[in-house]
Structure 1
Amino acid sequence: MKPTTGDLEAACRDIADACRVMAARGLADGVLGHVSMRVDAEHLLVRCRGPHERGLAFTEPADIRLVDLDGQGDLEGGYRIPAELPLHTEVLRARPEIRAVVHAHPFAVVAADLAGHRIRPLLGAYDIPGAQLAAGGIPVYPRAVLLRDRRLAAEMAATMGTRPVVVLRGHGLTTTGDDPAQAVLRAISIDTLARMILAVAGAGGTPADLPDEDLAELPDLGRGFTQTTAWRHELARLTGNQ
């Protein structure tokens, strides 16, 4: 079914919100990072840079543009697609079940990986979705390059495989989801784990996986809590609402 104008406008607002949350959470500094969402088999909405670019924290729905998988589309007004658009499109090509892709540069995630620490489920009830996400394994793409062509982006997508997250060595991470909110929340959880790993190692400890019996006790809190309520909180943080 072809999306309506109303559908596209709502999706642009959702992506803009996701970009601002990323900036507020320190996942993407300055003008770096981008969010996309699949529209149909051949098109996606993606955060582009305009002629008066101010950075992710100031993203507006007008910054979200409709393009095809080759980057051709609505770029009027001096907008430019991200140099790393292939990072998004190769994941979407390889994973038809994926709707949203986030690329961010969390400092702690990069630092933890460069220090030799893999992202592991060392937390329990502190962040249940994060623990469950890490328990499945977080792959690492080992090349610290700009993923600006299909060949490199396809390598990254292959490293990701069927997982929802991949760490990019010396670069950042890519996360996926059913929508931009889920993809950003996953990035927040990975960042939380990375910061905790660095804190434990910095205090002289050795980061270790949660025991299997503890992981098995962690409940599925449900999408209504882990995403709907969690995302409402992230949006409220942007405006200072309580």
Structure 2
Amino acid sequence: MSASGSITDPQQITSPRGTPTDPAQAARHLVALACRVLAQQGLAEDVLGHVSLRTEDGGLYVRCRGPRERGLLFTDPDDVHAVGLDDNDPLADSYQVPNELPIHREVLRARPDVRAVVHVHPPAVIAADLAGLSLRPIVGAYNIPAMRLAHEGIPVYPRGVLINRPELGKDVAAVLGDKPTCVLRAHGIVATGDSVQQAVVRALNLDALARITLYAGQHGKVPPELPADDIAELPDLGSHFNDAQVWLNRVARLDHAGLGL
């Protein structure tokens, strides 16, 4: 962790019990843990969704499907495999890369600043978008990072298709642009970060904002956006508070439920 408290190493801050010391095993453990966190929080209901982490040699670790597929909540490090940004070599032990691997490849290719990509299907985000409820900065201190995501703008990819071809992955990356997150209409979301932890927490914040948006709009009223003076008053509490501590809380919930690694 840097002196400013930001997460600089994606192998850091994974579990109170620590992680494997081998870098490759630590990366696979981290991606698997991220999948479990997202599933337990309701952003990945079954076998759909995946998380990736850029490797030092220019490839990525990504959650794959294996012969004993049980869904994201039960992801193990063995389900996480290293693949290249370009190659399509078959994986060992009957594992298959995600059909939507182009999301990860094209976002990582377009965004050198991104180290991790999350793609999941949070029902609240999908429902809010389909209902015509834009994710706007309507909350303040309730969830400052969610407010900032909305204040900076959350782009929407307008097609409800599988992103299973490079050209579609390029389209998603173009809509995402330099933003941290993107909504895929009638489909799911993409969340990015400079670590797996940050990408996961951004996905959680997007989901939290969508749920509040749905609750606030359930009687047909459009809630007002937070006043500019209030937005200016809210502090940036830093990545250590916003990402690392929230991540540790979610990992602790996994452990409490007997679902930790």
One-letter amino acid matched to 1:188: L
Residue 119 of structure 2 is matched in structure 1 by 103
One-letter amino acid matched to 1:8: A
Say yes or no: does 1:233 pair with 2:233: no
1:193 corresponds, among 206, 209, 213, to: 209
- CA distance in structure 1 between the aligned counterparts of 2:35 and 2:64, rounded to whole angstroms: 11
**Post-superposition, which runs of at least 4 consecutive aligned residues in structure 1 deviate over 4 A?**
none
Residue 88 of structure 1 is matched in structure 2 by 104
Residue 224 of structure 2 is matched in structure 1 by 208
1:38 corresponds, among 51, 54, 73, to: 54
2:158 corresponds, among 142, 147, 150, to: 142
Deviates more, 1:173-182 or 1:37-46: 37-46
Identify which of structures 1 and 2 has the higher relative contact order when contacts are C-alpha pairs closer than 8 Å and 6+ apart: 2
Shift of 1:207: 2.6
Shift of 1:74: 7.1
Residue 49 of structure 1 is matched in structure 2 by 65
Residue 113 of structure 1 is matched in structure 2 by 129
- Contact preservation (8 Å) 1:86, 1:150: yes
Residue 11 of structure 1 is matched in structure 2 by 27
Among all aligned residue pairs of Structure 1 and Structure 2, give the percentage whose two residues are the same amino acid.
52
Shift of 1:205: 2.3
Residue 15 of structure 2 is matched in structure 1 by none
One-letter amino acid matched to 2:137: P
Question: Where do 5+ consecutive residues of structure 2 fail to align?
Answer: 1-20
Q: 1:229 to 1:173 in 2, by over 3 A?
A: same
- CA distance in structure 2 between the aligned counterparts of 1:146 and 1:207, rounded to whole angstroms: 32
Say yes or no: does 1:156 pair with 2:163: no
**Cα offsets for 1:2-48 (capped at 9, x unmatched):** xxx82111111110110000000100110000000000353100000
| More helix by percentage | 1
- Contact preservation (8 Å) 1:185, 1:227: yes
Shift of 1:197: 0.7
Q: 1:178 to 1:74 in 2, by over 3 A?
A: farther
Shift of 1:208: 2.5
RMSD between superposed Cα atoms in Å: 1.3
Shift of 1:204: 3.4
Say yes or no: does 1:177 pair with 2:175: no
- Give the total of aligned pairs: 237
- Contact preservation (8 Å) 2:181, 2:190: yes
State the TM-score, normalizing by the size of structure 1. 0.95
Shift of 1:227: 1.3
Shift of 1:96: 0.9
SS, match of residue 65 in structure 1? strand
